[in-house]
Structure 1
Amino acid sequence: MTMGVANLYRSTALGLMLLLLPGLVNAQQAIKPAVFMALSSAQKEQQSGKLDKARATLNKAINDAEAGSLELALIQQRLGYVAIAAQQNRQAIDWLRKALAHSKLDATATRQDQLNLAQLLAVEGQYRDAARLLESVQAGGALTLEQKQLLVQCYSQAREYTKAIPLAEQVVRADPSAADVWYQLLVGMNYQQQRYDSAAQWQKVLLKRAPQSREHWRQLAGLQSQAGNQSAAAGTLRLAHEAGVGLTQTDLDNLIAMQVNAGAPWQAARLLEELMAQKLLPVDAARQERLAQLWTLARDRTRAREAWAAVASGSGRADHWLRLAGLQLEDGSWTDLLTTLKRAQSGASSQQRQLIRQWEGYARSAIENNS
């Protein structure tokens, strides 16, 4: 099934909220007075909106900082926050990475810079790098709910669904009033993992929130059908009908077509069968023929033979009898084949009569050889 949810949820994004706090210089740390003054001046210039002047002050001070020193790390950190203020995310990423690489900042500053860097990486679409960094932060202490949300988004965008799903479940359990997008994300990620039953359970939450949404009913039925539970899918559509938000016959036919397009003709046939049984779709000649075609496509030979026999008996058409005959020929049901071919003669074209004679020859020859 190629339900719209697949593409919809794969691209679902949860707006990133940057809470980038300026790294404050810890006056208790042992740094050179000249560097401390440069950092303080740059911070004031940044707060005043004089970003070019702050950058110039820091670039001048960086020339006097020793490689691998705390002073260098603090200057690079401040350059990172100046770049953030200037909305120069890529430069900010570069400076914060350099500052962290020295491993000179205290634990609190390091954690805050890592979180800010992870957010910047996510904004720039570097989701896998952001996820790895957030995992490192998490190893040093629990993430807040908002930080978990960011990690879920990074996992999802990187298509690391096995990691994203349990974390997203933590998010909605911690906040049951979470926005619909979180439940949509859980539906979509479970769908991508072919965990259709789980996807359906989360879809039920969305349906409960908006019971008048036809789309929610359609998606739930589609997921239940994809999970192989055609009775539940038909039951869902029946409930939608009774609730006054039932889908049109075209919608239901499209739902069946989605199963076929997804390479699931057996599920499509069972769903069509259930919808006709519950009178959500009319049991007309066209749909009976469609059902026979689906069973044939699904290679369910027993059901296909039964379906074509019913179609042919109702229509009396030679082409329908020949569809049944073709299955009997493949199965080696010679006696049944001869009976069917006799029925196919009425109204058959010259080309069809030629095929009938050919198949009758096969059947009689096979019966003689077996006697």
Structure 2
Amino acid sequence: MPQDENLSPATLAAQGLGSAAMPHRDIVPPIHVATTFERDPDGSLPGGRLYARDASPAFDPAEALLCRLEGGAAAALFASGMAAASAVLLALKPGARIVAPQDMYWGLRGWMIEFCANWQLTLDFHAGEGELAARLQVPADLVWVETPANPTWEITDIARAAELARAAGARLVVDSTVPTPVFTRPLALGADIVMHSATKYLNGHSDVVAGVLVTREADAFWARVKTARAAGGAVLGPFEAWLLNRGLRTLFPRVRTAAASAARIAGHFEHHPAVLAVLYPGLPSHPGHDVARRQMDGGFGAMLSLRVRGGEAAAREVAARVRLFRRATSLGSVESLIEHRAAVEGPGSRCPADLLRISVGIEHTDDLIADLEQALAAAAG
């Protein structure tokens, strides 16, 4: 592919940066399974590789593409999104202070609480931008942001969070799993590191568990992150890395199609008599809509939640009555998923008991609307 800086990110993704594997000029890169690499007689490494746990050729295509899409200096693949997030925490020094949102992915929130308690780090939660500013009146080391935030889809102003983090001497990390680089580029808004659970939209086919970090600067902190990956062994297998790279080729059409469908579904059910509320940042009624419109380019993502009239029992009944939606945990794949989120999160969940979390796939929107309509009607009747 010509090195044209004006090429659309969608073009870069579709062609995988346009590289062709030597010596056969393969359009699809091969799977690199080697775990170790030969030295020259003088002990040097002519291929620049020592061991696959440190830097496997299998990682190169996806890391290079994601680095370009996010506008970063370096990227690193991990065995999962949780592994990627954990590497950031492991890169912190003793006594560090973390500021994170109350509402975020429940698995990471729970792990942060446990990790910080065991490693004697300070963890302060906040419930919105006002509280974030208050928490950052004193120095901090890391500010964690997830936007839109799972599963109620609150919006954080990334540029404002970056300003507050810098003033407090902190590094800003943004979990951008839901918007993806299709709609949001956190590094351009001032973030230091962007994180994705690549299991979700980046792969997009429910067949890979992976994570990725992209950094704005390959600095000393990033070196500690890379050390945490290599020393902890949280690396992706070669076949999984290949599948992730394949999924990235269709990232833009998949995400745009799903987001357009989600917007239609949200609008259709916003005033539905069986629905208490639709939580979707693309709706003008959403409290974070104006910020989302400013920092999300061309769409608002494909995740939404319905709060069902009648409480928990009614929400569970709707989930039981769907025919097309799949009742499963996860998000970001080509098939649409639904789940009663509070039940999945279990004791201590902050999720409303009447909430159904929906991941919109790429099925025909009319079919998805009809399925939800019949499930709501069946549950009410």
TM-score, normalised relative to structure 1 = 0.20
Q: Which structure has greater strand proportion? A: 2
Q: Higher helix share goes to which structure?
A: 1
RCO comparison, higher one (Cα < 8 Å, 6+): 2
